Structure 1
Amino acid sequence: MLKNFAILVTLGFCYALAEGGPPAIPHRIHIQARAHPKSSFLRRRALSPIDVPLSDFFLGTDLQWFGNITVGTPPQILSVIFDTGSPFLEITSDLCTRCPQKKFNTSASSTFVDGNTTGIFSFATGGGVDPVIDNDYSLTVHTAADTIGLVNGFSAPDIEILLIINQTTKFDIDPYDGIQGLGASAQGLFAALISQSLPGNMYLTPKAVGNAELILGGIDSTKFTGEPIFGDLPPAETELPPSVWLLNSPGISVNGHTTGFLNTSRQIIFDSGTSNVVFPTNTTEAIYALISPDIKPFPAEPGAYGMACDRIAYLPATLDFTFTSQNGTAFNLTIPTVELNVGPFASNTSHCQTLINALEGVEGVLGGSLLKHYYTIYDIGAKRIGFAPAKLLSAQVL
């Protein structure tokens, strides 16, 4: 989920430590997909991971993955998206009278500290596949601090929280209670985990596969094939916040073909909070032109594209995004054809939405459509991202 100043996370996520620090006991967090009716860390320390189960929010396609944290004293359990595109923790609170989600009861926590500041966050990408229009994804938040932890024991005091005190209606269907940022500039709970030698690693899966998880303190090599390939984060730039996980890409191809325009350099963000793929209009339409001339903008939802549902299944649409590894060799990350169709539009069910939305202001965002096909390692200590094909996915989808 992209904010106006910071952008969301990936699947297969790993906060890694720089060298040093005592070994610690890892934590594993199981992640579920939400269902809706419609070289530091890779030295493989001998750690016993802690699992945080993750659930998959599914609405025609996999949207986000979320799991539980604890807030306050005594601990209150809330569910959050683990979002690589944001550094912050935002949770619904008892100060939000219209929020339908479970709320953090501020008065019931003996360690709660009011921050006395209120502000508004707008998002560039929302919780689903629909493009964000104007301020249809916006949160009013109030600053605070409290003890934050994992349901299996680890906790840290005085973690900054943004309490949601109002939200636009687009958030009402969300089955989770907030967003836990896992940005490249570690803050809050995850900065505390890193200081205790507890890096983290997220493995996201499609709803049909299940068993997604966030692993804190270890890498589960049973979840991927081969060795991870790493790319270095580019030097920090003023245009983008330091919380963003991104790599330079020298080119994009579709079904093995490219164009002069697509075969140019761009910075692409990896965001587990974004459900599908986002590019500027000119890039979006250049990619679609290599798939089918029948993919057109959908007027009822500016920024979205689609075509007749009875034809989309027959279109080949393998998208390859090229990056450069740490040793200087090129490697591709691939979105398979199966991801092209994200489901019918609610206002015209004979028309199906395609996976790329157009949005100005970013050069590219790869979300769940790509990340659920890879075990992705976010290495804070070495400022790099690693990818390996997810083992269950290679058997089931690719």
Structure 2
Amino acid sequence: MGFIRDNLPKVASPSPPRMLYSLSLPLLLVSTCHAAALNSHHPTPHVIKLQSRVAPREATLRRRALNPTTVPLADFFLGTDLQWYGNISVGTPPQDISVVFDTGSSTLEFASTMCKSSCDNQVRFDQNKSSTFVDKKTTSSITFSTGVGVDPVIGENYRLELRAAEDTVTVGGLVAKNVALNLITSQTAKFAINPFSGIQGMSAQAEGFFAGLIAQGLPSLFSLYVTPNAIGGAELTVGGIDSSKFNGTLTYAPNSTPGTADWTLTSPMIAVNGKTTPLLRRSRDVFFDSGTSNILFSTDTTEAIYALISPNITAHASEPGTYGIACSLIPTLPAVIDLGFVDTNGKAFNLTIPSSELSVGPFADAPETCQTLINAFDGLELVGGSVLKHYYSVWDVGKQRIGFAAI
């Protein structure tokens, strides 16, 4: 687990102050010239105690540590309050680039001037204007399992072509040098609606700029306050916790896959409107992904949840994995979903998704039918913005845990 390291500075032994040298010579002469006399009287030796001028270890650490910083976040996704992004700066002189801070990925990638028409809607980084830019001259591609919005991922409809590089990255005024990153050279059409330029991974293994700041003394945690657009003030705090943003105390749950890049918690139960089933009482590891808008569960779990809400929620054939119901029925449905977890002390607690999250808006091909928030995706159990917007969350990389408090 390379993100845990000894950050204490190594302090060299200082040279003694000059005044100590001036005292030592007369004392030496006395002890030499009068040795016989002193020995004959058997005097008690006079001891001069010397004290090091090295600063206490704690004080040195405080001087070296970086202070937490806060990045304002903007709300996005077609009015559904399920995606947030903020600015970082890259290069020398710095160029502002907006990114989603994504707990579901590890790396930094953003649009560059090498990306032509497919990046027309995004601000593009110009590597030729940065004196600290290093081109690694290697290319790769990445395909995402979840997309920007609430539509299902089909095949490779969320795919990026990348070129590896390195540069200085600044986040909230904190500077990390020689950060590994990827320039987007091409992207699929699904990214075209994005108002942001890229993705900054914030995985459970500190990498990139975050690892660089931790090495400089920043505490190894970050916090998310992702509010609905109507409330505003959403923010990311890197290296700290803003206790003014939540009520009560934080409840921490242990990462169920420590040592990996994944933020996952074990859930022993799901309940809907206070009811559950044997299938929903099955233990499962749930990914927590700030870069995903809604919820993904296996098909059987998704349909078991919907069965406890309404028999009128059915699969929407034109978009595999999605479900919907007549928009006119949405206000009549109770749909309180409780996701059960266990905290670091072994005590059960719930993260609750209220009925207001049930609909994520009408389908484009059927405006009278509203898409419901859970998509079926076999092999992946994941929660995103529809959960996180209701809690202040703390992502503690050093202690491998996630904390939640009501807002």
Normalising by structure 2, report the TM-score.
Answer: 0.82
- Number of corresponding residues: 349
Higher relative contact order (CA 8 A, sep 6+): 1
Superposed structure 1 runs of 4+ greater than 6 Å apart: 16-20, 24-27
Residue 317 of structure 1 corresponds to which residue in structure 2? Answer: 335
Residue 375 of structure 1 corresponds to which residue in structure 2? Answer: 392
Cα offsets for 1:192-223 (capped at 9, x unmatched): 12222324322111111110111123311111
1:234 has 2:264 as partner: no
Contact kept in structure 2, 1:24 and 1:197, CA below 8 Å? no
Contact kept in structure 2, 1:131 and 1:301, CA below 8 Å? yes
Residue 396 of structure 1 corresponds to which residue in structure 2? Answer: none
Distance 1:320 1:75, change over 3 A: same
Structure 1 residues without counterparts, runs of 5 or longer: 1-15, 28-46, 391-398
* Distance in 2, Cα, partners of 1:294 & 1:52: 42
* Distance in 2, Cα, partners of 1:55 & 1:68: 9
Contact kept in structure 2, 1:24 and 1:196, CA below 8 Å? no
Contact kept in structure 2, 1:248 and 1:268, CA below 8 Å? yes
* Distance in 2, Cα, partners of 1:176 & 1:137: 15
Matched residue type, 1:93? S
* Distance in 1, Cα, partners of 2:238 & 2:5: 15
Which of the residues 237, 257, 267 maps onto 2:285? 267
- The structure where helix makes up a greater share of residues is 2
Which of the residues 262, 265, 277 maps onto 1:247? 265
What pairs with 1:67-106 in structure 2 (closer than 5 Å)?
Answer: 67-98=86-117, 99-100=119-120, 101-106=122-127
Residue 137 of structure 2 corresponds to which residue in structure 1? Answer: 116
How far did 1:377 drift? 0.7
What pairs with 1:229-378 in structure 2 (closer than 5 Å)?
Answer: 229-236=251-258, 242-362=260-380, 364-378=381-395
How far did 1:360 drift? 1.7
Structure 2 residues without counterparts, runs of 5 or longer: 9-60
* Distance in 2, Cα, partners of 1:19 & 1:201: 23
How far did 1:153 drift? 2.7
Distance 1:356 1:26, change over 3 A: farther
Matched residue type, 2:264? L
1:202 has 2:213 as partner: no
* Distance in 2, Cα, partners of 1:252 & 1:103: 43
1:389 has 2:406 as partner: yes
Matched residue type, 2:224? M
Contact kept in structure 1, 2:352 and 2:387, CA below 8 Å? yes
Cα offsets for 1:260-299 (capped at 9, x unmatched): 0110100001100000101111111111111111101111
* Distance in 2, Cα, partners of 1:376 & 1:75: 29
Normalising by structure 1, report the TM-score.
Answer: 0.84
* Distance in 2, Cα, partners of 1:180 & 1:361: 24
* Distance in 2, Cα, partners of 1:191 & 1:128: 29
Contact kept in structure 2, 1:68 and 1:77, CA below 8 Å? yes
Distance 1:223 1:171, change over 3 A: same
